[in-house]
Amino acid sequence: MGSRHKDIDIVYAFLRNIAVHNDRAWFAEHRGEYDSARMVFEGMAQQLINRLGIMDASLAHLTLRDCTYRFYRDTRFSEDKSPYKLHFGTYIAAHGKKAFHGGYYLHIQPGECMIAGGAYCLPSNILKAVRQSIVDETDEFRGIVEDPEFKRLFPVIGMDRLKTLPLGFPRDYPYPEYLRPKDYSIATSVDDDFLRQADWLDQTVAIFQKMKPFIDFVNYTIDDYE
């Protein structure tokens, strides 16, 4: 417990510092802090990849590089020119980080840690197809998302939602809340102490296991387009 506590606090300390000193000069002077934090994070990410590869064989081929991102921000099209991210994240998806196929995500940021997953940024034709699958297989979808433990962990589907039903779907569909999401992602927040626990990996995998039927449902349709 003591080692786990110390290791994750190396990550939290660096991320708190970069949030205050988000500039290249400070980063260059404190590169060792970043390297230490990155090493801890990558160790955690690798453990998670290994365990999810056991849970889902389609993930077993993934490497650390497949599932992690550069810490440097792409500022070309952003008004925020801060050069560095304020978090570490690993996205474990069978078809890779840039595919539409949904996957599993761990976000580490002081005060904003999160376990999430699903499919993001879907093109309009794929998004429509996923919605149609929900209409066609309403009972199956409801069986997943209305499970009490699922609803406790993931009370909201999608980061953004339409105010009304999307065009092309029946106005009298009885579960409009399942068609309004603009993406099919889900997430549960965890406090900083969650990742300090000795069994953080077991608990995280258990949450992903609860998420898996939802991701499988969405991917069944998405994979027809990839």
Query: What's the CA angle centered on 119, arms 197 and 34, to 5 degrees?
Result: 45
For residue 138, the model assigns a pLDDT of: 98
The Cα 129–Cα 94 span in angstroms is 20
Domains of the chain: total: 1
The Cα 119–Cα 127 span in angstroms is 10
For residue 226, the model assigns a pLDDT of: 78
Can you tell me whether residue 81 is helix, strand or coil? coil
Largest Cα–Cα separation, the chain: 61
Among residues 187, 208, 188, 218, which one has the least CA distance to residue 56?
208
* Confidence band for 24, pLDDT divided at 50, 70 and 90: very high
Range of the domain at 56: 2-222
| pTM for the full predicted model | 0.94
For residue 1, the model assigns a pLDDT of: 42
161 beta partners: 181
For residue 3, the model assigns a pLDDT of: 47
Q: Which position has the token pair 């934090």?
A: 37
The Cα 35–Cα 111 span in angstroms is 22
